[in-house]
Amino acid sequence: MASLGELGRNAPSKSGYEWVKDVVWCIPLKFVDAEGVRRLGPPSSWVREGEEITIEFLSCSPSERVCFKGLGGDWFFMYTCVFSEIGVRFPFTTFECAVLRQINCAPSQIHPNSWGFMRAFEILMEYLEEKPLLEVFFHLFRAKGVDRGMWVTLSSHQGRTVFCHFKASYKDFKEFYIKVRSTEDSFPFYLDRHLAEKFPLYWNRKPAQCLGVEELSDRDADLVEFLFLNLKGGKVLTTSELLKWDNDKESVIDYLESKIPDCNTSSLKSFFKQRAKKEVSSSQVVKIEKGSEVSKPLERRRPVSLKRMRSEEAFGKKVIDLTGGKCQGKDVSLEEVVRFTKSQEGLHGFTGAEDVEAARLLCICREWEVQSMEEEGSKEDKRAELIESGKNLKLAREQVTLKERENALLKEKNGKLKAKVSQLCKEKSELENRIAELCGEKKKLKAKAQIELFVLGVDLEKMDPVKVVYNVELVDDDQVPAEGSDDHNPGE
């Protein structure tokens, strides 16, 4: 293989992409024609079972690079090994989209080994009948020391290793990437109902570092503890074995039962019950009137906080935690708070003047209402524009197809016309030769008639029109010597 310096001399200009490292930029791609893409098989085979989306794979031009940004969000790049070897399917799961948003990366910006960690975690959670949660995943993994212009790699936190790498040295993927495009008439599968991207489609100059989570809920902490109790003694799950899940689920179950026999759904449920009993037994006793006592579980309180959701930042949506830590893992959207405050205004004349925090909340709600009304019109316009552009795109594709068919028919017709003209020219030439022959024979007949008229008694029966007179004899043309030779003596 050529060195990086040699590849760099043949690479396109880096204008606008100076932040991309040479090891990404200088690698030439393999799929530069439709034939190479067709060898991947039908795109529908890489769509998750039960999903009704339609996609197509597109080849890239030799000058395109995986970090290029497309116009209009019509497609995104994807390394073929991510779906052909690791088993990622389209559309991406909610968890996969959440990871991409969290670290602010395009699908092709994450190293394939890190995709392997994501899929292995999803499969393990499915085996345990648990929902794959972002908090638990980033308690186990981190995106540390993110290098701009390079692939983003996830690594295990020290002392929290659950999975080994899919491949110890994963280098044979860099030139194998294609474009993935949705062919649906409505919204592409990578846009949500607000027309926002569910995940970054193109490489980001500033991917986000993720060093872990500040605090796990009690249940998530119990789940992590359960995992490591079963992985004690330095056990690590083999990622390549888990990735067989979609094609051979039974073999993966056999592997997990032999590797971690006590790590299963029933054991996990029992573990949760034991933890719940332990929390009740360690609850604090609270005195109430008449000297009676009740058991009150210890609460983990957190201050009320207002934050933006990364996934919905484009729409100005906000999430507010009104539980004070009592309801773990359950946030209330500001839209629901707006509806609640409106109902309170109508029922009880609630104005927020009775409480400073309530007044602040009401101001936030009204501010959000105004912003929502302003943005709703632009969303509808954008939705209508997208639908119209989709129709125009479909019409343009149909017009191109019709033009191609018309050109093919014209080409076929021109070919037939050329063959007909050639045949007619040939027949014309033959006809002209025949006319020339007939004219020659007619002239000979005229000459013979004139000789008989002027020279009476001449016997013309011995005349032979194909011979010539030489030395007072009738001979063939080839018996007459050439003019200028010593033997040439034409007959008189």
- Dump the DSSP string for 458-473: ---TT--TT-EEBSSS
Query: What are the phi and psi torsion angles at 418 (to 5°)?
Result: -60, -40
CB 127 within 8 A of CB 256: yes
pLDDT at 370: 57
pLDDT at 198: 92
Whole-angstrom Cα distance, residue 229 to residue 125?
16
How would you classify the pairing of strands 468-469 and 474-475?
A: antiparallel
Low-confidence ranges of the chain (pLDDT < 50): 285-327, 329, 346-354, 356, 492
Of residues 146, 136, 139, 76, the one with CA closest to residue 111: 146
Per-residue DSSP letter, 326: S
Helical (H) or strand (E) element with 370: helix 356-454
pLDDT at 260: 94
CB 16 within 8 A of CB 61: no
Residue type, 336: E
CB 309 within 8 A of CB 200: no
pLDDT at 314: 41
Sheet architecture: strand order including 332-333? 306-308, 318-320, 332-333
Per-residue DSSP letter, 477: G
Which string of b and e fits 198-211 if b means at least 16 CB within 10 Å?
A: bbbbbbbeebeebe
Of residues 79, 122, 82, the one with CA closest to residue 99: 122
